[in-house]
Amino acid sequence: MDPLTLWIVIGAVVLAAFVVVGVVAARRRAALQRARDTRQLPGGPGAGTGGRRGGSALDVDERAGRGVTTDDEVVEAELVPVDRPESRDSRLARLRRRLAGSDSPLSRGLLTLISRDRIDEDTWEAFEEVLITSDLGVGPTTELVEALRGRLRVDGVSDPAHARAILREELVRLVDPHLDRTVHADRGETPAVIMVVGVNGTGKTTTVGKLARVLVAEDKDVVLGAADTFRAAASEQLATWGDRVGVPTVRGPEGSDPASVAFEAVKAGIEQEVDVVIVDTAGRLHTKTGLMDELGKVKRVIERQAPVGEVLLVLDATTGQNGLTQARIFRDVVNITGIVLTKLDGSAKGGIVVQVQRELGVPVKLVGLGEGVDDLAPFDAEVFVDALLDAG
């Protein structure tokens, strides 16, 4: 081989080597850049401020096996199996089955009314008492009883099926099928933002995780924000839900500023162009002023980047009047747009659905029926009433 040919061959080999090295380096830089959004930022537990705007050291736990990174290397994580949530129709069917299988005082009272050949004054008084003790409230109870007395006095109760149809119609009207029960989670110019509020112990963080599953089942991309930084292990609990459904969780050190975590969650959602950001908030009920300051600040900080489209209040359906007291406080603190009722099963007094809607002037949008991962269902007035009558 003559010297000229030899130099040409050597040059071609060197050029090819540079191309290969360049491609590998470019791929590594791209992977590192993607991963930086999910890495542990400086500060760690107990730290003060960190590297991102917003005031605290935060991390985004990227789920579904996207890898854990540092500035110097990319380490591939094991793939996390991701559940496929049930569809909306399947969850509605589950709602009806669970409610129909309950044995609530309200359903028993309904059965008593429509099973009588003749409804006398004692029957009406007993029925009215059942409605009030089922957390329906005095106003709605009076409204329902007067409507039924008027209609059944005219139509009679000789035909149980006809009496049942009248009762169903009046109950559906009371629950109000015309309220907008949509969870507004459609992306606009920025991701839709949902704040979830409520007292600790009502199932608030669990509801956030289950709601993420609901939205994933609707093919939406979701980011979770663990802004409940005062309850031990709250962010870990939320991150576990993120793992199960395959969505990332933005969180900060325990005790860090909740507004900062919320800010970073929305920021991550904007950068990643997701559809929805769900922010879990602290549920401490100290004083009304304290809640106003904390939740108001969280909302204001979020809205520097994107509007808050939903503020969902989580209530335990079994707490009755205590739950309504909590609802009044949160109503005065933030602009509630919808209610999530958890534990709406045989131990709950189903009348709270009507009373809390009347109290807050907003609809029940979702209900939780148990501990299962898909036991969060959209609330439907007719399905609810039919299930009560089936249970009766």
Report the Cα 219 to chain-centroid distance in Å: 16
Q: CA angle, corner 336, sides to 60 and 319, nearest 5?
A: 95
284 is annotated as contributing to ligand binding: yes
155 is annotated as contributing to ligand binding: no
35 is annotated as contributing to ligand binding: no
Q: How far apart are CA 307 and CA 329, in angstroms?
A: 23
For residue 248, give both structure tokens. 């990332």
Structural contact between residues 185 and 308, judged by C-beta atoms closer than 8 angstroms: no
Structural contact between residues 279 and 191, judged by C-beta atoms closer than 8 angstroms: no
Q: How far apart are CA 62 and CA 31, in angstroms?
A: 13
234 is annotated as contributing to ligand binding: no
CA distances, 48 to each of 42, 45, 214, 266, 349 (Å) = 10, 9, 35, 20, 45
27 is annotated as contributing to ligand binding: no
344 is annotated as contributing to ligand binding: yes
For residue 112, give both structure tokens. 């008593």
CA distances, 239 to each of 3, 50, 236 (Å) = 64, 20, 5
What separation, in Å, do the N-terminal and C-terminal C-alpha atoms of the chain show?
97
Dump the DSSP string for 219-276: T--EEEEEE--SSTTHHHHHHHHHHHHT--EEE--TTS-HHHHHHHHHHHHHHTT-SE
Q: How far apart are CA 163 and CA 156, in angstroms?
A: 8
342 is annotated as contributing to ligand binding: yes
For residue 240, give both structure tokens. 């576990």
Report the Cα 27 to chain-centroid distance in Å: 37
For residue 169, give both structure tokens. 């119609």
345 is annotated as contributing to ligand binding: yes
How many CB atoms neighbour CB 139 within 10 A? 11
H or E segment at 280? Answer: strand 276-281
203 is annotated as contributing to ligand binding: yes
For residue 284, give both structure tokens. 């401490």
Q: How far apart are CA 283 and CA 216, in angstroms?
A: 25
2 is annotated as contributing to ligand binding: no
Q: Which of 265, 79, 284, 294 is nearest to 200 (CA)?
A: 284
280 is annotated as contributing to ligand binding: yes
283 is annotated as contributing to ligand binding: yes
290 is annotated as contributing to ligand binding: no
293 is annotated as contributing to ligand binding: no
Q: How far apart are CA 26 and CA 3, in angstroms?
A: 35
299 is annotated as contributing to ligand binding: no
Annotated binding-site members for GTP: 198-205, 280-284, 342-345
Binding site, residues?
198-205, 280-284, 342-345
